[in-house]
Chain A
Amino acid sequence: MGAVGAIFQKELRVEFRNKQTIVTYLLLAFLILTSFRFAFSSFDKTATEIAAPVLWITIFFAGMFSLTPIYKREVDESTKEGLLLAPIPHSAVYVGKLLASLLVVFGLELFTLMLFFVFFPYDLPNMAALMTVLVLGTLGFVALGSIISAISSQLSQAGVMLMVLTIPVLLFTVVLSAVSATSEIFGGAGLDDINQEVRFLAVFALVFIATGYLLIDFILEA
């Protein structure tokens, strides 16, 4: 567990030392939301149908962008071999990086959420339900997204390939389910009304945390 902690701490230090990286993620989330606000400017502002897709698509793309360098920078800085030589199981690298990414993506989501309510002035929905969906959905997409980030770090055109590989597997699973739950929440539903989605998101997160834990060896040694 010491190794997981060490990697978690190192990731956050690298991420936050250079202010421009984190600012770029926030800026991207801001710009995506602005684009949506512009695209939907002629729509009825009280219609809740567009709320959930706008929120999740912003989170998905900004989140994926922040996952791109997680493994890529070890390759670029030639530090990957140093990690592989250390006497730690490779799964510790996956888990340490996963925890750090989760923290960054959660921060990004809170920022997005605040902006969202400024741009789209809905009444506040059931926040407990919204936060549950947000947390579980994020667990799932960061778990799978960081596995694919490890794969794409070894490909040419890493950034584009991360999107090409994640959209087919994430859009119709986590994003779809999260959008489904979130639009019900904006329609006035509480936690009880969305328990199917919540269960799905929890299962998805568990499946891919386990998958990453088991498959990271193959990816890092490829």
Chain B
Amino acid sequence: MSGVVLEARGLVKSFGRNQVLRGVDLSISSGDRYFLFGPNGAGKTTLVKLLTGLMKPDSGEVRLFGEPLEGEALAIRARIGFLSHEPYLYGELTAMENLDFFGQLYDVPNRAERSKALLKEVGLFARSHDRVATFSRGMKQRLGLARAILHEPDLVVLDEPYTGLDIRATATLERLIREKSAEGTAFLAITHDLAQGLEMATRAGILSGGRMVLENDPSGWDEFSERYLDVMGGGR
């Protein structure tokens, strides 16, 4: 599998009096590990919501896997995995029941086997039958990661994936990202942490004041870091 996975053109979005995005373009191909940086309030989370179809742009277009993201777009949604700072898990259900539920929604084949394998992968197999409400933040985030990749998506979007992660979870996350992207899965991650992000990224961008101010690949990391510090230091 190759080619462009995600393409966004001229995305504009306002909330009431506040224009959050002012014309953002973005293109991600399969196997990419695209990291997006930016100060608070730069519009990163809004951009992610537009790209996953949780919100509609005021103007501009999002295309995923060559198809416009419009209406219910069930076939497109089935190919995206999403992990935000909220793990989207039900506290009253056990780890296994949570995965089973999402497995049903995503129509995952062999979901019992797949869930078990993933629980082992994220180191939660021993807690499979405990209620998620009893989990620590790091454990929930790990289970959230398992939930996000349960259906083997072609594009995984990670919104601040490092927040609340313990060392073990971070290691698991990074290992999974490298493995999956080698298999062709595209990743889009948002983070504050420049050092950690650039170590993982194959491409990176800075979003500031609702615009993409710089995009670069590993050959330009030095310039990228300087520019990022400028943006962060000078506020928006």
**B84:A81 contact, CB within 8 angstroms:** yes
**B89:A2 contact, CB within 8 angstroms:** no
Collect the chain B residues with CB atoms within 8 Å of residue A89's CB.
Answer: 72, 74
Does B77 interact with chain A (Cβ within 8 Å)? yes
Of the listed stretches B57-65, B91-99, B118-126, B211-219, name the one at the interface; the rest are far from the partner chain: B91-99
Does A6 interact with chain B (Cβ within 8 Å)? yes
Contacts known (A81-B86, A86-B106, A88-B74); A13 close to B93, Cβ less than 8 A: yes
Query: Can you sample 30 A-B contacts with CB below 8 Å?
Result: A2-B107, A3-B105, A5-B104, A9-B101, A10-B97, A13-B92, A13-B97, A14-B92, A14-B93, A17-B92, A17-B93, A17-B131, A18-B92, A77-B90, A78-B86, A79-B89, A81-B54, A82-B89, A82-B102, A83-B105, A85-B52, A85-B77, A85-B80, A85-B82, A87-B105, A88-B74, A88-B105, A89-B72, A89-B74, A90-B72
Binary interface profile of A, 158-200, with partner B (CB < 8 Å = 1, else 0)?
0000000000000000000000000000000000000000000
Does B78 interact with chain A (Cβ within 8 Å)? yes
Q: How far is the CB of A221 from chain B (nearest CB, A)?
A: 8
List CB contacts (< 8 Å) of A45-100 with chain B.
77-79, 81-90
Q: How far is the CB of A112 from chain B (nearest CB, A)?
A: 25
| Residue of chain B at shortest CB distance from A86 | B105
**B88:A87 contact, CB within 8 angstroms:** no
| Residue of chain A at shortest CB distance from B88 | A82
Q: Give the size category of A's interface with B.
A: 20 to 34
Q: How far is the CB of A140 from chain B (nearest CB, A)?
A: 28
Q: How far is the CB of B141 from chain A (nearest CB, A)?
A: 13
| Residue of chain B at shortest CB distance from A93 | B105
**B77:A87 contact, CB within 8 angstroms:** yes
List CB contacts (< 8 Å) of B35-82 with chain A.
52-54, 72, 74-75, 77-78, 80, 82
User: Given the complex of chains A and B, what is the CA–CA distance between A2 and B111 in angstroms?
Assistant: 13
Chain B interfacial positions (CB closer than 8 Å to A): 52-54, 72, 74-75, 77-78, 80, 82, 84, 86, 88-93, 97, 101-102, 104-107, 131, 147
Collect the chain B residues with CB atoms within 8 Å of residue A17's CB.
Answer: 92-93, 131
Q: How far is the CB of B103 from chain A (nearest CB, A)?
A: 9
Binary interface profile of A, 1-28, with partner B (CB < 8 Å = 1, else 0)?
0110110011001100110000000000
Collect the chain B residues with CB atoms within 8 Å of residue A88's CB.
Answer: 74, 105
Q: Is the interface of A mostly helix, strand, loop or mixed?
A: helix
Collect the chain A residues with CB atoms within 8 Å of residue B89's CB.
Answer: 79, 82
Collect the chain A residues with CB atoms within 8 Å of residue B93's CB.
Answer: 10, 13-14, 17
| Residue of chain B at shortest CB distance from A81 | B54
**A87:B92 contact, CB within 8 angstroms:** no
User: Given the complex of chains A and B, what is the CA–CA distance between A18 and B80 in angstroms?
Assistant: 32
**A87:B97 contact, CB within 8 angstroms:** no
| Residue of chain B at shortest CB distance from A92 | B105
User: Given the complex of chains A and B, what is the CA–CA distance between A17 and B225 in angstroms?
Assistant: 50
User: Given the complex of chains A and B, what is the CA–CA distance between A5 and B106 in angstroms?
Assistant: 13
Q: A79-B86, A87-B105, A90-B72 are in contact. List 13 more A-B contacts (CB 8 A).
A: A2-B104, A13-B93, A77-B91, A78-B88, A79-B88, A81-B54, A82-B102, A83-B105, A86-B77, A86-B105, A87-B74, A87-B106, A88-B105
User: Given the complex of chains A and B, what is the CA–CA distance between A3 and B80 in angstroms?
Assistant: 17
User: Given the complex of chains A and B, what is the CA–CA distance between A65 and B173 in angstroms?
Assistant: 42
User: Given the complex of chains A and B, what is the CA–CA distance between A174 and B92 in angstroms?
Assistant: 34
User: Given the complex of chains A and B, what is the CA–CA distance between A84 and B107 in angstroms?
Assistant: 15
Collect the chain A residues with CB atoms within 8 Å of residue B91's CB.
Answer: 77
Collect the chain B residues with CB atoms within 8 Å of residue A86's CB.
Answer: 77, 102, 105-106
Collect the chain A residues with CB atoms within 8 Å of residue B72's CB.
Answer: 89-90
Contacts known (A14-B93, A79-B88, A79-B90); A85 close to B54, Cβ less than 8 A: yes
User: Given the complex of chains A and B, what is the CA–CA distance between A9 and B147 in angstroms?
Assistant: 18
User: Given the complex of chains A and B, what is the CA–CA distance between A83 and B101 in angstroms?
Assistant: 11
| Residue of chain A at shortest CB distance from B93 | A13
